[in-house]
C-alpha cells in the first residue's frame, strides 16, 4: 500500500498529521512524505518543520495520494511544475484525497471538475470557481476522490477511507487505538453551528 502525502511550505500541520496517524496503520502501508524538493518543510505557524526525504522527481505513483491545505495552497496552485506532477500521480492512484484547502489544489489540477467535494468553509466559493461542486459535509466521496472539510476533518476523512480499504472493524480499532473521541468544549465547530459574528471573525482572521 503505497501512500504519498504531499507537503509544501505554509501548510497546516494537522491537515497531514491527522491522516498520517490513521493511514500509516493500514496493512502493508509504505507511507512517504513528498515535497517539491527534499528538506524541511515548515508549517503555517513556522514553529513546526517536517523532514521530507523524497522530492516530486522521485515519486510518480501512489495507491493513496493525499494533499493537505493551508495558507500556502495558493502558491502551490500557481506552481505548474507541481500541478503537472499532481495530475500524473493521480492518473494511477486508487484513491486521491484532500483535507481543507488541499481540495483547491486538486481542483486547480482539474481533478474535481464537476465532482462533489468539500473544503474549509471559508474556501467553498473558491472551490466552486475552480470547477468543483462544494458541499458542506465533513467528508465527501465522489468516485475515487475523497475530500475532508477544514483541518480536523482530516482524521474523519482518513478513518472513512481506512474503512473503505480495510473494513469497518479494523477502522474502529484504529479509532480506539488513537482514542479519537471528540468532545469539544464548544458547539461551534462548523459555520452551520457558529454565530454570524464568529464566522466573520474567523474569515477576517484567515484573510489577514
pLDDT tens-digit series, residues 29-57: 999 999 999 999 999 999 999 999 999 99
- 207 part of a folded domain: no
Looking at residue 128, which CATH number applies to its domain? 3.40.50.880
179: containing domain: 2-183
**C-alpha dihedral (30, 20, 48, 147), degrees to nearest 10:** 120
- 116 part of a folded domain: yes
* pLDDT tens digit sequence for 51-76: 999 999 999 999 999 999 999 999 99
- For the question of residue 188 being annotated catalytic, the response is no
- 48 part of a folded domain: yes
Q: Is pLDDT above 90 for 207? A: no
Average pLDDT across the chain, whole number = 97
- 199 part of a folded domain: no
- 101 part of a folded domain: yes
Q: What is the pLDDT of residue 208?
A: 81
Q: What is the pLDDT of residue 96?
A: 98
Which grid cell sits at 51?
523532514
Whether the CB-CB separation of 16 and 66 falls below 8 Å is answered with: yes
Helix (H, G, I), strand (E, B) or coil at 32: strand
- 190 part of a folded domain: no
- 39 part of a folded domain: yes
Q: Taking the chain, what is the end-to-end CA distance rounded to the nearest angstrom?
A: 40
d(CA 161, CA 139): 10
Confidence of residue 174 (pLDDT cuts 50, 70, 90): very high
* pLDDT tens digit sequence for 70-114: 999 999 999 999 999 999 999 999 999 999 999 999 999 999 999
Q: Is pLDDT above 90 for 22? A: yes
d(CA 185, CA 187): 7
For residue 116, the 8-state DSSP code is E
For the entire predicted model, the pTM comes to 0.96
- 195 part of a folded domain: no
* pLDDT tens digit sequence for 117-171: 999 999 999 999 999 999 999 999 999 999 999 999 999 999 999 999 999 999 9
Active-site residue (options: 50, 62, 66, 100) = 100
Q: What is the pLDDT of residue 200?
A: 94
Total domain count, the chain:
1
Amino acid at each position: 500500500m503505497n501512500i504519498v502525502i504531499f507537503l509544501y511550505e505554509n501548510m497546516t500541520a494537522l491537515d497531514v498529521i491527522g491522516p498520517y496517524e490513521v493511514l500509516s496503520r493500514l496493512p502493508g502501508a509504505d507511507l512517504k512524505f513528498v515535497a517539491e524538493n527534499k528538506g524541511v518543510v515548515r508549517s503555517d505557524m513556522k514553529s513546526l518543520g517536517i523532514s521530507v526525504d523524497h522530492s516530486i522527481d522521485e515519486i510518480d505513483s501512489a495507491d493513496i495520494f493525499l494533499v493537505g491545505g493551508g495558507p500556502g495552497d495558493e502558491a502551490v496552485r500557481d506552481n505548474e511544475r507541481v500541478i503537472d506532477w499532481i495530475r500524473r500521480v493521480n492518473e494511477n492512484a486508487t484513491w486521491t484525497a484532500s483535507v481543507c484547502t488541499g481540495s483547491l489544489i486538486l481542483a486547480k489540477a482539474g481533478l474535481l471538475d464537476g465532482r462533489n467535494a468539500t473544503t474549509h468553509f471559508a474556501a467553498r466559493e473558491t472551490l466552486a470557481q475552480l470547477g468543483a461542486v462544494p458541499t458542506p459535509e465533513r467528508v465527501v466521496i465522489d468516485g475515487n476522490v475523497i475530500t475532508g472539510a477544514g483541518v480536523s476533518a482530516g482524521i474523519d476523512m482518513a478513518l472513512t477511507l481506512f474503512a473503505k480499504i480495510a473494513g469497518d472493524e479494523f477502522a474502529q480499532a484504529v479509532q480506539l487505538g488513537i482514542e479519537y473521541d471528540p468532545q469539544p468544549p464548544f458547539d461551534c465547530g462548523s459555520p452551520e453551528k457558529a454565530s454570524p459574528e464568529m464566522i466573520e471573525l474567523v474569515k477576517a482572521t484567515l484573510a489577514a
